């Protein structure tokens, strides 16, 4: 949904989502000044939680329009995890699930601790979770947040999959990525897919492995008090 601009942007409305407070997008540099002002004025956006790595911020820049509209920029990178599972030109569902697992289990030390602490601080007001595409790192963070809020796995999976059409429509914005990797445009269109099957399989793994989202976050390094506080804020 792009009514407010940006790439893969939407207000998360899955069952259990905190009313109007959780927003998600890819490429936070894509918002125009007018769109950013609208997000701040009409939707009450207060904080953009940026999961991109320092290298990505150096390459593509900070979210200047959002900052210019008075939105706080909180940079909390999720990086350092292996990417081999999606190194194929057109990875399948199993490959994508393994990639999402790695984001949770193998990000650089301290990353999830910092993210959960930051979210617990800002999630009482409207906040935007974002990374480069808004589907993998943002996808994992949003799925866990929705699970903490009590959303069903079916609703969480539907939200995860909802960005597929907009990502495909914006594939040319990411041309530098496929050129650097030696991939074709069609390869990258395949990589943009966000199927509900991927989310359901990943959520099932979280439930089987950890018993729930809060325990998964603690296992990833979050302080138990921060994870509990985030659950309370989102519930």
- pLDDT at residue 183, as a whole number: 80
What's the pLDDT at 1?
37
SS in 3 state form for the chain?
Answer: CCCCCCEEEEECCCCCCCCCCEEEEECHHHCCHHHHHHHHHHCCCCEEEECCCHHHHHHHCCCHHHHHCCCEEEECCCCCCCCHHHCCCCCCHHHHHHHHHHHHHCCCCCHHHHHHHHHHHHCCCCEEEEECCCCCHHHHHHHHHHHHHCCCHHHHHHHHHCCHHHHHHCHHHHHHHHHHHCCCHHHHHHHCCCCHHHHHHHHHHHHHHHCCHHHHHHHCCCCHHHHHHHHHHHC
Name the pTM for this structure: 0.92
The CATH number, out of the four listed (3.20.20.70, 1.10.3720.10, 3.90.1300.10, 3.90.190.10), of the domain defined by the range 7-234:
3.90.190.10
pLDDT of residue 194: 85
Task: Provide the residue-wise pLDDT of the chain in tens; the chain has 235 residues.
Answer: 334 678 899 999 998 888 899 999 999 999 999 999 999 999 999 999 999 999 999 999 999 999 999 999 999 999 999 988 777 778 889 999 999 999 999 999 999 999 999 999 999 999 999 999 999 999 999 999 999 999 999 999 999 999 888 888 878 888 877 788 788 888 777 777 889 999 999 999 999 999 999 999 999 999 999 999 999 999 8
- Residue-level pLDDT at 4: 66
């Amino acid at each position: 949904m792009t009514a407010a601009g940006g790439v893969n942007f939407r207000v998360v409305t899955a069952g259990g989502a905190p009313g109007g407070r959780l927003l998600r997008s890819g490429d936070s540099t894509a918002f125009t000044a007018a769109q950013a002002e609208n997000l701040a004025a009409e939707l009450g956006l207060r904080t953009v939680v940026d999961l991109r790595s320092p290298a990505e911020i150096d390459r593509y820049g900070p979210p200047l329009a959002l900052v210019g509209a008075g939105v706080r920029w909180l940079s909390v990178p999720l990086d350092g995890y292996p990417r081999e599972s999606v190194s194929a030109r057109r990875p399948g569902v199993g490959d994508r699930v393994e990639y999402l697992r790695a984001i949770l289990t193998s990000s650089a030390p301290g990353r999830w601790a910092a993210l959960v602490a930051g979210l617990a601080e800002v999630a009482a007001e409207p906040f935007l979770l974002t990374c480069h595409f808004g589907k993998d790192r943002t996808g994992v963070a949003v799925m866990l947040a929705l699970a903490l809020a009590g959303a069903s796995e079916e609703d969480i999976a539907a939200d995860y999959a909802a960005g597929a059409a907009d990502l495909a429509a914006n594939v040319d914005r990411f041309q530098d990525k496929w050129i650097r990797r030696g991939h074709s445009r069609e390869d990258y269109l395949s990589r943009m897919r966000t199927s509900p099957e991927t989310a359901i399989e990943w959520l099932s793994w979280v439930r089987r492995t950890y018993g729930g989202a809060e325990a998964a976050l603690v296992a990833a390094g979050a302080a138990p008090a921060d994870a509990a506080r985030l659950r309370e804020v989102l519930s």
